[in-house]
């Protein structure tokens, strides 16, 4: 089994192998290390996300929507070119072929396990069928939680900036401390 996750410090993507004995994740880009919660992997089975560590996980197709859209877009452009040169049949053929390629790719790719909360992806997971499929309610719960946290973070930052500005005013002119309000 392996996990693909975004480092919480530098936000870049990492992929690391996981076993029962894994105790920490280490970012290959910035070296940031974070511990894996005890019992997250038991008997080769993922009990909870090793990154965030929520136990809400869902199974989904290992299919990149971006790639799917790209194929459709390329097909659309190619068929437009064919249409321009009065090759109607070729144009329709290209459109049909790209749609078929998309469907075939979707059917061919395997499944992966994903965390609702931090979107970490787990591949080569044992007993993948025993995990639940995507649930909109759970997704919505996590989305709202995330929005609340972001709001709280913003309010906190606003308060901190206000405090900073006030102390800057009390002291000297504050050359570099009040620059944070620029954005």
Binding mask 34-53 for Zn ion (x = CB under 5 A): ---------------x-xx-
Q: Which is nearer to Zn ion, 51 or 91 (CB)?
A: 51
What pairs with residue 57 in β-bridges? Answer: 115
Q: Does 25 bind Zn ion (CB under 5 A)?
A: no
Does position 29 interact with Zn ion (CB under 5 A)? The reply is yes
Nearest to 101 by CA among 76, 68, 140, 124: 68
Smallest distance, Zn ion to C-beta of residue 139, A: 13
- Are 76 and 92 in contact by the 8 Å Cβ rule? The answer is no
Instruction: Answer whether 98's CB lies under 8 Å from 74's CB.
Output: yes
Q: Does residue 7 bind Zn ion (CB under 5 A)?
A: yes
Nearest-angstrom CA–CA distance, 31 and 68: 33
Provide the minimum distance between the beta carbon of 4 and Zn ion in the complex, in angstroms, as a whole number: 11
At 181, give phi and psi (nearest 5°): -90, 5
Q: Which is nearer to Zn ion, 5 or 82 (CB)?
A: 5
d(CA 95, CA 93): 5
Q: How far apart are CA 119 and CA 116, in angstroms?
A: 6
Q: CB-wise, 95 or 116, nearer to Zn ion? A: 116
Q: x/- string (CB under 5 A) for Zn ion, residues 105-144?
A: ----------x-xx-x------------------------
How many other CB atoms are there within 10 angstroms of residue 128's CB atom? 16
Residue 145 interacting with Zn ion (CB under 5 A): no
Which residues contact Zn ion by CB under 5 A? 7, 9-10, 27, 29-30, 32, 49, 51-52, 54, 115, 117-118, 120
């Amino acid at each position: 089994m392996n996990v693909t996750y975004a480092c919480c410090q530098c936000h870049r993507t990492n992929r690391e192998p996981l076993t029962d004995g894994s105790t920490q994740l280490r970012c290959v880009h910035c070296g940031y290390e974070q511990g894996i919660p005890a019992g997250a992997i038991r008997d080769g089975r993922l009990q909870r996300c090793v990154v965030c560590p929520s136990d809400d996980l869902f199974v989904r197709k290992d299919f990149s929507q971006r790639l799917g859209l790209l194929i459709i877009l390329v097909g659309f452009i190619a068929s437009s070119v064919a249409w321009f040169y009065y090759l109607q049949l070729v144009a329709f053929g290209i459109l049909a072929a790209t749609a078929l390629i998309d469907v075939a790719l979707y059917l061919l790719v395997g499944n992966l396990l994903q965390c609702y909360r931090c979107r970490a992806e787990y591949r080569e997971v044992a007993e993948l069928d025993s995990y639940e499929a995507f649930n909109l309610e759970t997704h919505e719960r996590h989305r709202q939680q995330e929005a609340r946290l972001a709001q709280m973070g913003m309010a906190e930052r606003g308060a901190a900036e206000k405090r900073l500005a006030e102390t800057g005013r009390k002291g000297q002119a504050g050359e570099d401390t009040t620059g944070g309000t620029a954005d």
